[in-house]
Chain A
Amino acid sequence: MELKLPIYLDNNATTPMDPRVLETMLPYFTDNFGNAASRNHPFGWAAEEAVDYAREQVANLIGADPKEIIFTSGATEADNLGIKGVFEMYASKGNHIITCTTEHKAVLDTCKHLEKLGAQVTYLEVLPDGMIDLAALENAITDKTILIAIMYGNNEIGVVQPVKEISAIARKHNVLFFTDGTQAVGKIPVDVIADGIDLMAFTAHKMYGPKGIGALYVRRKNPRVKVTAQMDGGGHERSMRSGTLNVPGIVGFGKAAEICKNEMAAESARLRILRDKLENGLLQLEESYLNGHKENRLPHTTNISFKYVEGEGLLMGFNKNIALSSGSACTSASLEPSYVLKALGLGDDLAHSSLRFGLGRFTTEEQIDYTIKAISDTVNKLREMSPLWEMFKEGIDLNSIEWAHH
């Protein structure tokens, strides 16, 4: 098969839409354009029926009841609604939230916002492999704790947290458990009952659906969870999220969820093989390091640091042909490398030298072979012009040098 360039390996940023999803959506832009809240004519009925069906498809993917799915504009809104909504709804019970330092900004910045409104937030450090420390989590709980917000799978390193153990701790202390499932849902089995999840944010565009549609799962039984709406209006979505429903988006989300559910077992096994091939190929390079826990990981993600080579310079060697992200941000506005990698305890040098790979449904073995070669060649070329590599080869300890910090 002929290799088509450029290769897309940034599926943790967003996924391409599956053509089957697009096909399902199209009629809902034109013929079936009705407002799902129009109760008195066939246009509205058709839209409502389509939304009901999609809500079932989405609920099925995570083992939920359709009534527990609140559609939002995406995962960021669902993170905001879940956390702010609980903070407001359970204010009489307490004001303490526990989260961790490797969460997505949509969670961290929401928590920071709530701190200004009187919340007490504990940001748990993670272990060097990216996992949270369950004992530290339990120790952080106080009689004011209302919510634990820990993500399911990490967007940068793919580490999957021990969700069942976290929810057991939450249950034991009568605290709600929110999880950002954005990267995990549709990729690995997520079951809100078995996992003990009370609230979960996720989105369509990370699972081959359209952008602009996501959901918040809100548990209705054992316990019945409520969130205060953050968007007021017509009382849509059981009054938790007002706003005319994005019917084509919801239909696409439903179809995307259905495909993921049907194909997950085979697809995750396929991606794991490709990911491991990529990872093993790149870890052949001297002084390259895997970031994050090797086993507890999403099957399509890997994050590798190539010591003595700067990430942005590395990307430039092949970014016309391979789409990837780096943990480095070499701009005067932000010289800070990835906060997730720094939270693992990586030095700035290793954090600056990292690449994040997100494989997906349309990734092929030919693409992986090409990528291993292109990246290896670029790393070798840049090391030849890296003064740090030369010093390393001469046995000079880089920490012994007094660097001139800008």
Chain B
Amino acid sequence: MAYSEKVIDHYSNPKNVGTLDKSKNNVGTGLVGAPECGDVMRLQIEVNEEGVISDAKFKTFGCGSAIASSSLATEWLKGKSIDEAIAIDNMDIVEELNLPPVKIHCSVLAEDAIKAAINDYRVKNGLPALEETKH
């Protein structure tokens, strides 16, 4: 299967690979997927006092599309408010990366990782968790 140029670019030069201090109150961590399924994503956000995502990092175990989806997600998250971040839809990722149908689950995982990170941040800061995600 041929990968799109954008997937190859993110895979070869992934943006924002790394780890934030998950013990900090203004850092939210989302860990989704499972090793048995062949992909695991960890996505982290750091939120500043204005409620804006000032930093985002990821680490992903998975295929090129999974790595690209999480790399793209971290790029999109930076500078967004929590409310804007919640609005990121997996189909936006599919469109941006030209993911074929068999790789849509990679984008779903990225969306789940965003929501899981936001939830972690909310719970840490005394806010209720979001409703169940659609997936």
Q: Are A404 and B66 in contact (CB under 8 A)?
A: no
0/1 interface trace, chain B 3-30, chain A, CB 8 Å (1 if under): 1000010010010010100000000000
Q: Are A335 and B38 in contact (CB under 8 A)?
A: yes
A168 CB to nearest chain B CB (Å): 40
Are A316 and B64 also in contact (CB < 8 A) when A331-B103, A388-B35, A406-B105 are? yes
Q: Are B102 and A332 in contact (CB under 8 A)?
A: yes
Of A73-81, A201-209, A346-354, the stretch lying at the interface with chain B is A346-354
Chain A positions within 8 Å of B35 at CB level: 347-349, 352, 388, 398, 403
CA distance A191 to B42 in the complex (A): 54
Give the interface size bracket for B toward A.
35 or more
Closest to B101 in A: A332
Q: Are B33 and A330 in contact (CB under 8 A)?
A: no
CA distance A226 to B56 in the complex (A): 68
B26 CB to nearest chain A CB (Å): 21
Q: Are B101 and A316 in contact (CB under 8 A)?
A: no
Residue B80 is within 8 A (CB to CB) of chain A in the complex: no
Of A23-31, A105-113, A158-166, A304-312, the stretch lying at the interface with chain B is A304-312
Q: Are B40 and A406 in contact (CB under 8 A)?
A: no
Are A387 and B17 also in contact (CB < 8 A) when A312-B63, A404-B32 are? no
Chain B positions within 8 Å of A309 at CB level: 61
Are A332 and B105 also in contact (CB < 8 A) when A308-B61, A387-B59 are? yes
Residue B67 is within 8 A (CB to CB) of chain A in the complex: yes
Closest to A335 in B: B37
Chain B positions within 8 Å of A385 at CB level: 14, 17, 58-60, 67
Closest to B41 in A: A387
CA distance A352 to B36 in the complex (A): 8
The residue in B33, B64, B112 that gathers the most chain A C-beta atoms within 10 A of its C-beta is B64
Nearest 9 interchain pairs by C-beta: A403-B34, A348-B36, A331-B102, A387-B42, A349-B35, A312-B63, A387-B59, A316-B64, A330-B63
Interface residues of B (CB under 8 A from A): 3, 8, 11, 14, 17, 19, 31-42, 58-64, 66-67, 101-105, 108-109, 112, 135
A316-B8, A332-B101, A387-B59 known; 6 new pairs, CB 8 Å cut-off, are A316-B64, A347-B35, A348-B36, A352-B36, A390-B19, A403-B33
